[in-house]
Amino acid sequence: MRAVVYEGPRTVGVEEVPDARIERPTDALVRITTTNICGSDLHMYEGRTDLETGRVLGHENLGEVVEVGEAVDRVKVGDLVCMPFNVSCGFCENCEKGLTAFCLIANPDPNIAGAAYGFADMGPYNGGQAELLRVPYADFNCLILPPEAEERQTDYVMLADIFPTGWHATELARVRAGETVAIYGAGPVGLMAALSSTLKSASKVFVVDRHPDRLKLAEEIGAIPIDDSKVAPVEAIMDQTEGMGADRGCECVGYQAHDPEGHEHPNMTLNNLVRSVRFAGSIGVVGVYVPQDPKSPDPLYKEGEVAFDYGLFWFKGQSIGNGQCNVKAYNRELMRLIRTGRARPSWVVSHELPLGEAPEGYEHFDHRDPGWTKVVLHPNG
Ligand code: NAD
Ligand code: ZN
């Protein structure tokens, strides 16, 4: 089968690899029709991880079930399914509590809880930027989609990751109706946090970034764009919240945070959030922070410490929640919002490409080239 394969820093190829296949009785085999490139793929693409060359990338996957193992009885051949990016077993202590991002079984490394498709350190699973995907624990991991999803795959595929992850940011930040929310990052994840905040009837949603095209998408759903290459974002948020700060904050950037000039500062968004959020407010961090980044320009973070302004955070009595999204905790309800037309997450999609054009998609998305907000691949035409 053809698949997008990691070949080394800033290089992916579309190669012929052995077909994905059923390996255990609980597996399903899915013919992928829609799969996305995610900001999380860029950690590997940029060579910031120790992902081995030859691994197939892709964790935001949707397709048709073409074969099931003999222990699979809920999911049927022919079902259209969307898989959470988390691979989880469904029966360990964490999965039982809904904490599927921290499954104790799916990752064979006993020191790591949680697994995902096509990811460094997250288990041996290949990704779905390919013609076929092996889905472990298929009865648990496949979300069966309604028939109308066939025609609206770019909406439903967002259930694999970024819509639930944006929602998770607002859950971690405890956003409630009427509140004000400050979101840092207008990438696909930040835009989904903005969408989620509006769905939760936030009164004002601020979105900070410096890419006009991405800020425009935030504005389209009623958020207030703040271009931090033109204005100081903390002051802009203070000015529009009667000097209080936003009630809630969402971090949707991660350790690759940089200033508008392009210099990396892994603590920049955390510090801006502590300053932008009011006393006793709360912050949800879904942007990824890896345990250490040997390539970071910040000497502390090189060794694994993000030195954010903890003193001010404590003094303001704020709270923080963070981590990978437990996609299964939200995907069924968010599917209903898509189905009823209350949410149309495909508004972030800028490009739909055949698998063969994945290398160009990666390159443009990684550069955040104007207009390249979310790239969707169709491996089977
Ligand atoms: P992205 O890289 O496209 O978006 C990040 C955006 O942040 C960019 O538009 C960039 O201009 C902006 N940015 C950079 N520095 C900034 C700063 N100092 N202030 C404000 N904005 C700044 O990526 P994405 O796909 O939107 O993903 C965002 C983050 O979420 C990544 O770290 C990704 O790995 C992570 N993620 C986490 C989960 C999870 O489960 N927690 C799931 C998916 C993605
Ligand atoms: Zn993703």
Domains of the chain in sequence order: 2-161+327-378 (3.90.180.10), 163-322 (3.40.50.720)
* pTM for this prediction: 0.98
Closest-approaching ligand to the CA atom of 364:
1
Q: Separation of 38 CA from ligand 2 center, angstroms?
A: 4
The pLDDT value given to residue 294? 85
pLDDT bucket at 209, cuts 50 / 70 / 90: very high
pLDDT at 286 over 90: yes
In ligand 1, which atom is closest to the CA atom of 191?
26
Cα–Cα distance for residue pair 197/267, rounded to 1 Å: 24
The atom number, within ligand 1, closest to the CA of 189 reads 26
pLDDT at residue number 321: 98
In the predicted structure, residue 195 carries a pLDDT above the cut 90: yes
Compute the average pLDDT of residues 94-116: 98
b/e burial code for range 237-266 (CB count within 10 A of at least 16 → b): bbeebeeebbbbbbbbbbbbbeeeeeebbb
Ligand 1 pocket test target in 103, 172, 214, 252 with most atoms within 8 Å of CB: 252
- In 10 A of CB 143, how many CB atoms? 22
- What's the pLDDT score for residue 354? 98
Give the residue, by CA position, lying nearest to ligand 1 atom 31. 287
Residue 257: C-alpha distances to residues 20, 105, 201, 210, 289 (Å): 36, 32, 28, 12, 10
Ligand 1, atom 4, lies closest to the CA of: 187
User: Predicted ipTM?
Assistant: 0.99
Task: Give the separation between CA 343 and CA 360, rounded to whole angstroms.
Answer: 29
Q: What is the mean pLDDT of the chain?
A: 97
Ligand located closest to 184 CA:
1
- Residue from 231, 253, 331, 376 whose mutation best tests the ligand 1 pocket (most atoms within 8 A of CB): 253
235 pLDDT higher than 90: yes
pLDDT for residue 292 is more than 90: no
What is the whole-number distance in angstroms between the Cα of residue 166 and the centre of ligand 1? 11
C-alpha span between 237 and 275 (Å, rounded): 10
Q: Is the pLDDT of residue 293 over 90?
A: no
Q: Going by CA atoms, what residue is nearest to atom 7 of ligand 1?
A: 185
> Tens of pLDDT along 265-277?
999 999 999 999 9
8 A C-beta contact, residue 186 and residue 211: yes
User: Looking at ligand 1, which residue's alpha carbon is closest to its atom 11?
Assistant: 209
pLDDT tens digits, one per residue of 158-173: 999 999 999 999 999 9
Q: Is the pLDDT of residue 136 over 90?
A: yes
Q: In 3-state terms, what secondary structure has residue 64? A: strand
